[in-house]
Structure 1
Amino acid sequence: MKLVKQFAVVALSALTITSCIKVDVGDDINTGGGGVVPGDNILNGTIDQSRTLTKGTWTLKGYVYVNNGATLTIEPGTVIKSDVADKGALIVERGSKLIADGKADAPIVFTSGKAAGERAPGDWGGIIILGNAPTNRPTSPAPIIEGGVNRPYGGTVANDNSGILRYVRIEFSGIAAEPGSEINGLTLGGVGSGTIIENVQVSFGGDDAYEFFGGTVNCKNLVALGTMDDDFDFDFGYSGKIQNAVSLRDKPADTDQANGIECDNNGAGDAAEPFTRPVLSNFTLIGPYDTTGSNSNHGFSNRWRKATRFVFRNSILLGHRKAGFSMETAATAQAYKDGQSEFKNNIVAVFTKPYNVAGGAETVFATADLVKAKAESEGSRTLASRDDVQLTDPFNLTAPNFLPKAGSPALTGADFSGLDAAFFSPTTHVGAFGTTNWLQGWTSFNPKTNSY
């Protein structure tokens, strides 16, 4: 949600942009157009004609832009490391595409260039994808995405297609363009519903794991591990759908509140349309239940603010310290009271304040108990302890098991009535997992020590 000062953006972009892409072509790469330099597998500069990166290990050097309608295709099993000195970021501009279509047994990995044991959040930038789908920001001039890349996003094409991200891991991202403006693990600006995003893991990012700046893109099977700031951040008119997402927090947190979900209509909190209204089902959001002291910035499971609207269904809020389901501002609370927003069929088992009203929401719901009564009347269950949820081993940072145990209340209670049947696959369980572990084969919970 942090806005970048334009003069800083332009200055940083000028330092990082170069004029060509340099790659070690070998015998298998598509070499049509653009600069090609033999040697190590190096990506830098601008990709303005379509390219394919063959399976292997590549080095991302500086900010790399895909533009001019080009498509960058990355083969399954490819590992892309950021240069340590010239920290990289991959920016896919409007009208261009990224086809990173990995496989369960051959994921595509974007990671730090540092050695095992030395990797940390902020070792490189992250992935930014910019599309032509609607936002609630003015279109002339188009808004500029945060993170120091000085590129516009958004438009009028709801079904815009920016490519495929499938079976992809993004690790140790979050380089700061300037104080308070880091690149997220995966930044999606005005990305349209023609784009496919499935089975993506963001681990140990220095800012948000995922941030959606408007757009209509739909996603399935998302993982956030050890995020410094928010796990899922929505704003500026995002109206897509997401099913199956899990987040697990580690220490420390950002100096800002670090939340499972943070959601605003826009920075001003006004009634700009289209309203931010993510439609979310089968989330498991896990906070560090016993976090204290300097790590207490791990905040809310759900933080709905600034006139946003939302649909949050069939999910689990587990362990966050500050609050579970929190609404801030009167407009946000009014939309929930009037049925324009939904919080239904969820399990809430957090450290304190399962339900919270603040920042003017008290004018609509005078007490948190009134929010609790509405939520429970619509199928949600409030449990006294994290242990009552009976997940197998959800707080294990290196080998978690999020599946419910036999007899867990999470195995029942889902309701998909009113949700888009063309996108959402009905389940009987709430949360991201029932009896099937869709993490197997492609995720990693030990990226700090992986050998790449």
Structure 2
Amino acid sequence: MKKFNSLLTMFAAVVIGFTSCVDGNDNPTPPVVPGEDDVLRVESNITSNTTWETGKTYVLGGRIAVTSGNTLTIQPGVIVKGEVGSGSNATALIIARGAKIDAQGTATSPIIFTTVADEIAPGQIASPNLEPDLSGLWGGLIVLGNAKASLAGDVTETQIEGIPPSDTNGLYGGSDDADNSGVLKYISIRHGGANIGEGNEINGLTLGGVGSGTVIENVEVIANQDDGIEWFGGAVSVKNALVWNAGDDGLDTDQAWSGTMDNFIVLCGSETDHALEIDGPEGSFNAAHTLKNGTVKGNNVAELGDFRDGARGTFENIYFFNFANPADTDGRGDFSLSGDKTLATFADGSLKFANLEITLAEGVELSAVFKNGTAAHATSVAAGENTVGADKTAFASTWSWAAAAGAISDL
């Protein structure tokens, strides 16, 4: 009933007459409805350097791309709202290869990406009308770059998932691992993950071939129908990330991403599949990434982690709790290596684990959760006595909805 009521709110919000549009030269056209000139509608791709200003709300009227050679600057406190839609009508903001985003919110004035059904206004942190588990109401934020990715057939570029092949702004990949797609700081992305086709949803934050010159810090993704954050190759690093109520995976890595995720929190929701899904390379190019200093709270359904298809990387200083007994959930609630390729990378040291801690459900053995020999790198600890995990002070209630809602108070 809670989600049904929220959906009624969503449809009511769709009929609101949002005003004005941006012409790509920082010049909003005159508002259609007097008195609403702080709500600006964006209908077409951004083809010149453009600034979205503090105190204003920008409504994405479709799939909007910042095209190559151009920079979109988003000032602190801006709210970006995507129209409701799925399939070819799914809304999203795409930073195409060769373009940049300069979205630097602050600890007291974050930049919020959400749905048009959300009644949130500049200066607010929590939605006044939507629950933090309502997903799929718009697309998400997609950043694409020229860094290397391990792609099937050893091609150097491909189309990002969630964007139709007809839109060439969805291409990513190349040879420049130092590529710079801009800056994301103090960002909250909410209620996204619209489905454009069977098994083809948009992630909250998608990073495709993004280079190490890009800065991403202090980001949260809330109630996304697909993954919270997904990396497709690239070399970008991320610091201080929180995912709450992902519909599929919390953090998902693919195609030989080679950066570092440092200080993260995953709060599994009722539909979360894996807290961590780690995939191996798809072509001959190999690289490894690092996930460290993380806290993962389960939901009695999700798996802690699934490492697949020759996964590589280092995973250290991660604390897990509130997961179910795998024996009671048909094998859910475990930390596993899937397939011979992954068993081989674990055996040869290309896949490494260190300092994994967990508070086990009563009567559960460590080896029943950490499968395939990974229990050698894990320790059982009592609740509240973990010595590793995330530093939750990075997620202040002045910018993070999860913190303001008390969702991280027990970490």
Deviates more, 1:278-287 or 1:132-141: 132-141
Deviates more, 1:348-357 or 1:41-50: 348-357
8 Å CA contact 2:335–2:371 kept in 1: the answer is no
CA distance in 1, matches of 2:286, 2:50: 35
Q: Which residue of 2 aligns with 1:58?
A: 58
C-alpha distance 67-356 of structure 1, shift in aligned 2 (>3 A): farther
Q: Which residue of 1 aligns with 2:11?
A: none
Q: Which residue of 2 aligns with 1:389?
A: 383
What is the CA distance between 1:68 and its match in structure 2?
A: 2.7
What is the CA distance between 1:437 and its match in structure 2?
A: 5.0
Q: Which residue of 1 aligns with 2:329?
A: none
Unpaired stretches in structure 1, ≥5 consecutive residues: 1-21, 292-297, 358-366, 391-407, 411-429
Deviates more, 1:75-84 or 1:171-180: 75-84
User: 3-state SS of the aligned residue for 2:148?
Assistant: coil
Q: Which residue of 1 aligns with 2:339?
A: 329
8 Å CA contact 1:49–1:68 kept in 2: the answer is no
Q: Which residue of 2 aligns with 1:83?
A: 83
CA distance in 2, matches of 1:166, 1:202: 13
Q: Which residue of 1 aligns with 2:17?
A: none
Q: Which residue of 2 aligns with 1:342?
A: 352
- % identical equivalent positions: 32
CA distance in 1, matches of 2:389, 2:50: 39
CA distance in 2, matches of 1:354, 1:148: 41
Is 1:45 the counterpart of 2:60? The answer is: no
Q: Which residue of 1 aligns with 2:390?
A: 432
- How does 1:255-266 map onto structure 2 within 5 Å? 258-266=273-281
C-alpha distance 446-124 of structure 1, shift in aligned 2 (>3 A): farther
C-alpha distance 139-37 of structure 1, shift in aligned 2 (>3 A): farther
User: 3-state SS of the aligned residue for 2:249?
Assistant: coil
Q: Which residue of 2 aligns with 1:164?
A: 183
CA distance in 1, matches of 2:394, 2:209: 31
Query: Which residue identity lines up with residue 172 of structure 1 in the other structure?
Result: H
Is 1:124 the counterpart of 2:127? The answer is: no
Deviates more, 1:91-100 or 1:148-157: 148-157
The total of aligned residue pairs comes to 350
CA distance in 2, matches of 1:356, 1:52: 53
Deviates more, 1:197-206 or 1:318-327: 318-327
8 Å CA contact 1:323–1:350 kept in 2: the answer is no
8 Å CA contact 1:326–1:355 kept in 2: the answer is no
What is the CA distance between 1:187 and its match in structure 2?
A: 0.5
Is 1:31 the counterpart of 2:25? The answer is: yes
What is the CA distance between 1:446 and its match in structure 2?
A: 8.5
Q: Which residue of 1 aligns with 2:14?
A: none
RMSD between superposed Cα atoms in Å: 2.5
Superposed CA offset, 1:202-229 (max 9, x none): 0000000001000110010000011111
Structure 2 counterpart of 1:273, from 270, 279, 285: 285
Q: TM-score, normalised by structure 1?
A: 0.72
Q: Which residue of 2 aligns with 1:319?
A: 322
C-alpha distance 330-140 of structure 1, shift in aligned 2 (>3 A): closer
- How does 1:36-435 map onto structure 2 within 5 Å? 37-39=29-31, 40-55=39-54, 56-84=56-84, 87-114=90-117, 115=119, 116-118=128-130, 120-137=134-151, 138=153, 140=155, 142-150=157-165, 151-253=170-272, 258-266=273-281, 272-275=284-287, 277-288=288-299, 291=300, 298-321=301-324, 322-351=332-361, 354-355=366-367, 368=371, 370-372=373-375, 374-375=376-377, 380-383=378-381, 388-390=382-384, 408-410=385-387, 430-433=388-391
Unpaired stretches in structure 2, ≥5 consecutive residues: 1-19, 32-38, 120-127, 325-331, 406-411
